[in-house]
Amino acid sequence: MSITRTRFATQTRTWVIIAGLAALFIGLGGLFGGSNGIILFAGIAVVFNLVMFWFSDKLALKASKARPVDRSEAPELYRDIEEVAGRAGVPMPRVYLIPSEQPNAFATGRSPKKAVVAVTEGLLRYLPRDQVKGVLAHEMAHIANRDILVMTIAAMIGAAISAIANILQFSMLFGGGDDEDSNPLGIVGALVAIIVAPLAAMILQLAVSRQREYLADATAAQYLGEGRPLAEALGTLQKGTEAVPMNVNPATEALY
């Protein structure tokens, strides 16, 4: 399958899954408060998404304790990022270094023009240059495919679903269940929603992440002209993450 067809198929599957997340979210809002609940929680989701989208780079960098590096400090890294960015057709991102011995990297930012690539000290220390390029190509593919936006939307809808389920549970435990007779789903429906909705949201989020990672791998191989450096790099990263634990903030865990 060509990269164009792969991209179209993956993008389509991604947005179908996100539509499922949104439907679950709206349905849970309706169960909680009827039409007013749908409007309220849809509004909350929009606000959360906008905040996270706008400040995603700052939040991720702060949580990872990353610091900016200039060309004089990491000339080879800059050359590799410039090369891959040129192949990807995106502007040169800002470059940050994470103080960790675990080989890893992530990309963030609300658009290709505001993008950031952050790499760990361990990535530069333990991986050969061709594998570093493979990792950078993967992160640049996330930027070009606007995966930061997509994953932010999925994550925030998922978080809102979990929050609503918690509110439902709290309300039933402390007297909110008195009004269940007026709801056609009743108390059984509410209990099912409390248990099933967060689990379904998590599964759908994982499905979105898998689609975006698959597309990033395919796109990175196109940038590099072959898939070998990325495949070898992914194997090295897996071994490195097992050998060298990294204290990852939950807010940025999905980025790695």
Cα 134 from Cα 111, distance rounded (Å)? 21
Known catalytic residues are 139
Closest by CA position to 233, among listed 74, 103, 68: 103
Check if the beta carbon of residue 133 is closer than 8 Å to that of residue 180: no
- Return phi, psi of residue 175, to 5°: 105, -5
Q: What secondary structure letter does DSSP report for 74?
A: -
Number of H helices, E strands in the chain: 7, 4
